[in-house]
Amino acid sequence: MLGRQGAGKGTQCARLSRHYVVPHISTGDMLRGAVKERTAFGRKAKEYMDAGELLPDDVIIGIVEERLDKDDVRRRGFILDGFPRTVPQAVALTEITLPLGVDLVIDLEVPRGMVLQRLAARRVCTDCGANYSVTERPKRPWTCDFCGGDVIQRDDDTEEAINRRLDLYEEQTAPLVQFYADRGELEIVDGVGTAEEVLSRLVAVIDARQQSHRSAP
């Protein structure tokens, strides 16, 4: 699943994971875990994240490859969220998933001005990473509904930092969208609307793709 930060990828991947009973593999969750546990990879990752840079391909490809080798993925497949972000990562993913390959790549499209607003309003649990916003607050003021952690505005959710991340995303991801379009694997799905509306669009696109795979010779 591709899409700008703030397009609702995480929410929709979690819903799709329940709908199709397929593991939702979020690089964000894997990263937070590694940083929290202060593994060698986690410490390395934190240096890049503190500097506001994306992780080098070899580091991120390594952890994704390990994850895709686990039993749940072998049985059920996977929904990848936050990977690939670059063409070299996409090439690596193609190799990792041989011979089956990737069935479908979805670009969840939400206009830049809209995600900028969403991200500036975002508040995040420091412990579990759950997302809130100034309009969708936790039940008790700024205490996470799920884990009781502190809910804050992240330092890098200022408008300037958000714009920088969106620029970086576009620079790296535009060639990626083209890469998948050329392979006939890309579908663009409108990500504007309620979570239910967007989910039903996604399910329609995925079901149609499954149907065409089944009827292929």
Comparing CB distances to Zn ion, the nearer of 32 and 44 is: 32
The contacts of residue 212 (CB under 8 Å, 6+ apart) are: none
The least CB distance from residue 53 to Zn ion, in Å, is: 26
Q: Which of 18, 38, 74, 154 is catalytic?
A: 154
Q: How far apart are CA 213 and CA 215, in angstroms?
A: 6
Closest CA to 185 of 115, 129, 103: 103
Comparing CB distances to Zn ion, the nearer of 143 and 172 is: 143
Q: How far apart are CA 170 and CA 80, in angstroms?
A: 19
Comparing CB distances to Zn ion, the nearer of 41 and 132 is: 132
Residue 46 known to be catalytic? no
> What three-state secondary structure class fits 63?
helix
Comparing CB distances to Zn ion, the nearer of 29 and 187 is: 29
Residue 209 known to be catalytic? no
Residue 122 known to be catalytic? yes
- Cα dihedral sign for 72, 75, 76, 78? positive
> Tokens 């990626």 appear where?
176
Residue 85 known to be catalytic? yes
Q: How far apart are CA 19 and CA 23, in angstroms?
A: 11
Residue 139 known to be catalytic? no
Q: Which of 44, 137, 165, 209 is catalytic?
A: 165
Residues that bind Zn ion (CB under 5 A): 125, 127-128, 130, 144, 146-147, 149
The contacts of residue 184 (CB under 8 Å, 6+ apart) are: none
The least CB distance from residue 182 to Zn ion, in Å, is: 41
Catalytic residues: 9, 85, 122, 154, 165
